[in-house]
Amino acid sequence: MNELLLIVSIAGERVALPAAAVESVVELDTLVAVPRAAPHVAGLSALRSRVLTVIDCMRSLDLGTTDCSDGIREAAVVELDGHHYALLVDVVEDVVEALSDPSPVRAAMGTGWERASHGMVETEAGPLLLVDVAALISGSEARAA
């Protein structure tokens, strides 16, 4: 496959994001709430004169809510359809190469993970769930619509 993957932790689980979709990895310290936004939108933040919509990945996956009150949060910045998003993650670990194409997951993961998963990929860091960036941005509300 030879695709580069960014290893991150979401809700304590090590997963992979396609590195080609990630513009940068940043630390966010300020979030501005957005009235009437979807529940998985944590707020807005600024980065290099750009406004980022900040996505709470835990909330998007129906795994609870990320506590943003304790200061700086790590995020992966992505662009989708001309809009910039910051995906809140627990930890950004490393960039590795995928050693296989995604294969179906043969275990129950929960509806949030199943909705956002492209499958399992083998890496030098072990097997990782490959997460769909667009599904994280859409959130669980898109599934219900």
Which pTM was predicted? 0.91
Return the beta strands (E) in the chain as ranges: 4-10, 13-18, 22-28, 41-47, 50-56, 73-80, 83-89, 91-97, 117-121, 128-131
Quickly state the pLDDT bin for 90 (edges 50, 70, 90): very high
Q: Round the average pLDDT of the chain to a whole number and report it.
A: 90
117 — phi, psi (to 5°)? -100, 140
Q: What is the pLDDT of residue 108?
A: 81
The predicted-structure confidence for 131-143, as pLDDT tens digits, reads as follows: 999 999 999 765 4
Residues whose CB falls within 8 Å of the CB of residue 107, separated by 6 or more in sequence, listed in order: none
Quickly state the pLDDT bin for 15 (edges 50, 70, 90): very high
- Report the distance separating Cα 78 and Cα 135, nearest Å: 13
Q: What is the pLDDT of residue 134?
A: 96
CATH code for the domain in which residue 110 is found? 2.40.50.180
Q: What is the pLDDT of residue 47?
A: 87
Q: What is the pLDDT of residue 20?
A: 94
Token duo for residue 46: 């600024």
The predicted-structure confidence for 62-75, as pLDDT tens digits, reads as follows: 998 887 777 788 99
Domain housing 128: 4-144
Sheet holding 117-121, edge to edge: 91-97, 4-10, 13-18, 128-131, 117-121
Quickly state the pLDDT bin for 128 (edges 50, 70, 90): very high
pLDDT at residue 115 tops 50:
yes
- Report the distance separating Cα 103 and Cα 26, nearest Å: 30
The predicted-structure confidence for 29-77, as pLDDT tens digits, reads as follows: 888 989 999 999 999 999 888 899 999 999 999 998 887 777 788 999 9
Token duo for residue 78: 């992505």
Q: How many domains does the chain have?
A: 1
